[in-house]
């Protein structure tokens, strides 16, 4: 059986490393590739697949357009408006494993529950972070972002989740006092803001992992804060994908070992 990660760009994706390691550990003969597919090409690509396909991982910019394909998707995909996993079964089903990836990564870092949080950004990853925070028990979330339409969408999602979500300018928040800060913005966006970090109280999850550490993560760590790479989220969300596609419990230890070996080969920090 075949599986793949689709996106644009996708050539440097670490998903093949994770999924192939899982298949090897589970003694499965499935294949997993990285395939360049632009937003406009997703529907034709999926409709052209045969019965030999197990499932697909989706990265940007495909997480929202995938809804046009699906007769069925899970509750987390509906809430976040983002699909990162397609599974071929009786019907094509869509899932969001990013939410559980965040939850698992934060808990693995020693934080079972979260009360207050700050999210930088307001796109698909930020919506996944917001739902994850609800799963972690948060009751108050500040959102720091610029896109007014996306900010409104985050606030509406917060209402659905019974979660107090407020949008703030950076200077109006006490973000360094939050139990958890999640950065979902692209690499470099928060480099200048990073210079303001001083004795943060909580955990920082930066979804950017190349380069690592980011400027924000470096400043957070050097002034005494705990940091968590987006690679931990990537590992755990891939584990959930493996389970959905194969029905097997993901061998996270072997997946982590393979990921770290690849990171060292690329000159990146391990997790």
Give the three-state DSSP class for 3. strand
Q: What is the DSSP letter of 228?
A: E
Are 108 and 101 within 8 A, CB to CB? no
Catalytic residue among 39, 63, 79, 166: 63
Asked if 166 is an active-site residue, the reply is no
What is the Cα Rg of the chain in Å? 18
Give the three-state DSSP class for 122. coil
Strand ranges across the sheet with 203-206: 164-167, 140-144, 116-120, 180-183, 203-206, 226-229
Are 63 and 5 within 8 A, CB to CB? no
Are 183 and 120 within 8 A, CB to CB? yes
Are 212 and 268 within 8 A, CB to CB? yes
CA atoms in the 13 A half-sphere facing the CB of 150: 17
Q: Which residues are catalytic?
A: 63
């Amino acid at each position: 059986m075949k599986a793949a990660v689709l996106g644009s760009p996708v050539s440097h994706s670490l998903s093949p490393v994770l999924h192939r390691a899982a298949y090897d550990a589970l003694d499965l003969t499935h294949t997993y590739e990285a395939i360049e597919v632009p937003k406009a090409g997703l529907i034709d690509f999926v409709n052209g697949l045969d019965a030999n396909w197990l499932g697909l991982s989706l990265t940007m910019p495909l997480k929202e357009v995938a809804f046009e394909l699906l007769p069925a998707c899970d509750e987390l995909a509906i809430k976040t408006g983002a699909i990162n996993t397609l599974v071929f079964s009786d019907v094509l089903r869509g899932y969001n494993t990013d939410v559980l990836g965040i939850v698992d990564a934060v808990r693995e870092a020693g934080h079972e529950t979260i009360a207050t949080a700050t999210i930088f950004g307001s796109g698909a990853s930020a919506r996944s972070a917001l739902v994850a925070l609800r799963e972690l028990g948060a009751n108050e979330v500040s959102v720091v972002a610029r896109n007014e339409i996306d900010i409104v969408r985050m606030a509406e999602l917060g209402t659905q989740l019974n979660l107090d979500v407020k949008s703030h300018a950076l200077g109006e928040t006490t973000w360094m006092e939050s139990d958890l800060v999640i950065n979902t913005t692209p690499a470099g966006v928060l480099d200048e803001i990073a210079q303001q970090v001083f004795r943060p109280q909580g955990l920082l999850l930066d979804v950017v992992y190349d380069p690592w550490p980011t400027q924000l993560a470096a400043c957070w760590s050097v002034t005494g804060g705990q940091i968590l790479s987006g690679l931990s989220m990537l590992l755990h969300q891939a584990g959930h994908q493996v389970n959905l596609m194969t029905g097997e419990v993901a061998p996270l230890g072997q997946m982590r070992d393979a990921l770290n070996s690849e990171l060292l080969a690329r000159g990146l920090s391990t997790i």
